Amino acid sequence: MKQARTLKEKELKHVLNYVTLTRHKLRNRTILLCTYLAGMRVGEVAALTYGNVVQADGSIAAEIRLEAEQTKGKHARTVFVPEKLRKELAAYVAAYPQRSADFPLFYTQKRQGFDANTLAQHFFHLYRAAGLAGASSHSGRRTFITTLASKGIGVRVLQSLAGHRNISTTQHYIDINDSMKRAAVELV
């Protein structure tokens, strides 16, 4: 099976510009950025609740603690939230104020939380409408891992950030490109 396409920065900007034209632009932007900026799986994004993201004082958590039932492998994990994503989440939460801690963070127009399959299909349609063939709900996650690898982050750290149990899984996510090869040979 072919892997999801990793996106270049220009392509990511293109899809983010496209979502400004969609009906639920803030929600769509935020769910996309959860995969690109934190490397979250689509099922993890779908499973997020306000309680996972919004702290008691109303601020956005710097670390999201996912329970086992919220993850693919049924192993609890911590997602580290960069400042850029915290700002995006804060804007989203301000526009869609908290209901209760267990209410889905992202929900459909019927006010139901997404399930992983529905959200994956949503990603597929967003990318297709934006003209990015080969992109899928896994593109953000692959781009997250590849971007960090190209900046010299070690594969063990990447494994932990991705929540992978095996390092070989993480290695399959890294998309080697010419700029990474050029940078490597300049180190000699």
Residues 127 and 148 both lie in one domain:
no
Indicate the number of domains in the chain: 2
CA distance to 50, 54, 74, 167, per residue, from 89 (Å): 10, 9, 25, 30
Residues 72 and 160 both lie in one domain:
no
CATH of the domain at 81: 1.10.443.10
Percentage of the chain with pLDDT > 90? 71
Residues 51 and 98 both lie in one domain:
yes
Q: Identify which of 5-9, 88-92, 156-160 has the greatest average pLDDT.
A: 88-92
Residues 149 and 111 both lie in one domain:
no
> In terms of C-beta density within 10 A (0-12 exposed, 13-18 middle, 19 or more buried), how is residue 95 classed?
exposed
Residues 72 and 155 both lie in one domain:
no
* Nearest CA among 135, 13, 32, 143 for reference residue 92: 32
pLDDT in tens, 101-139: 999 999 987 778 899 999 999 999 999 999 999 999 999
Alpha-helical segments (H) within the chain: 9-19, 25-38, 42-47, 50-53, 83-95, 116-129, 139-150, 155-162, 167-173, 178-185
pLDDT in tens, 31-48: 999 999 999 999 999 999
Asked if residue 15 belongs to a domain, the reply is yes
Residues 111 and 21 both lie in one domain:
yes
pTM of structure: 0.90
Spell out the residues 6+ positions from residue 13 whose beta carbon is closer than 8 angstroms to its own: none
Residues 110 and 70 both lie in one domain:
yes
Average pLDDT over residues 159-169: 89
User: What's the pLDDT band for 1 if we cut at 50, 70, 90?
Assistant: low
